[in-house]
Structure 1
């Protein structure tokens, strides 16, 4: 199953639409993680919540928890290694390998690949392409992909300048 996460938020601030293979919006990811109290919500297009990802940070290094309906809690942990930058998804026993910074990584269960994520530039902007093998992994992979993207990209905010040559007046009379 292939899902597309369009990260360019045209008029849908705080929401990332998730389209399926037929380009129909199937899920919405809402929220952001710029504050320890914030949460990402994965909802069906109808508004029904499927899962959430939140930080349970204690101290400098924070870990993240994924809470999916009818499933036990799953943690996302970073395995600090000088040779490789690996992440581990507990309970599911997935190791995330590849380059998150370069936008191409995969989820492995042992030696078996269960999902891949690629970042591409399209006309709409930055798009994450998630190829997920098993339907029960969809909420976990979509939330993890959004988390990793928020770790390694920052939204570009350009300043708004007044038109050149325009003079401003503060006289109210």
Structure 2
């Protein structure tokens, strides 16, 4: 399944829309990570929370936790290596490889590829294309991709607004 996320500074909705590649709105990500007490929320278009990502401690190197409804907590850890920029998603046992700074990376379970994320810059902002093979991984991959992007781009300031109604469609192409 392919999901597109448009990250822009327009702040039209105060939220990050997540859509299928045909433009149909599927999820909304609300919040920001510019402060250790802040959280990202993944919600349906009707406002039902699916999961959240938050920093679980203060310090030079932050550790992040993903809490998805009906699933145990998952942590995102960074390996400190001079050779490679590697991340590990616990419980799911996913290794994130590739270049997060260049915007092209993949999630691996052993040698099997579970998802890929590619970043494209256009006139309105940054568009993330997430190809995810298993439906149960969707919340984890979308929240991780937003986290990694916010680490390497200007932090997005997203005001809090009520949820968007189900009648909005977007074009990310």
TM-score scaled to structure 2, two decimals? 0.86
Q: Any conservation in 2 of the 1:3–1:18 contact (CA below 8 Å)?
A: yes
- What is aligned with 1:52? 52
- What is aligned with 2:160? none
Q: Any conservation in 2 of the 1:9–1:16 contact (CA below 8 Å)?
A: no
Task: For residue 128 of structure 2, give the secondary structure of its aligned residue in structure 1.
Answer: strand
Task: For residue 101 of structure 1, give the secondary structure of its aligned residue in structure 2.
Answer: coil
Aligned residues: 157
Give deviations 1:16-42, integer Å, cap 9, x for gaps.
Answer: 000013211100000000000000000
Task: For residue 145 of structure 2, give the secondary structure of its aligned residue in structure 1.
Answer: helix
Give deviations 1:32-83, integer Å, cap 9, x for gaps.
Answer: 0000000000000111000000001243221000000000000000011111
C-alpha distance in 1, partners of 2:156/2:31? 18
Specify every segment of 5 or more residues in structure 2 that has no aligned partner in the other structure, as ranges. Answer: 158-173
- Larger Rg: 1 or 2? 1
Go from structure 1 to structure 2 and tell me whether the alpha carbon gap of 1:155 and 1:58 turns closer, same or farther (over 3 Å shift): closer
- What is aligned with 2:168? none
TM-score scaled to structure 1, two decimals? 0.86
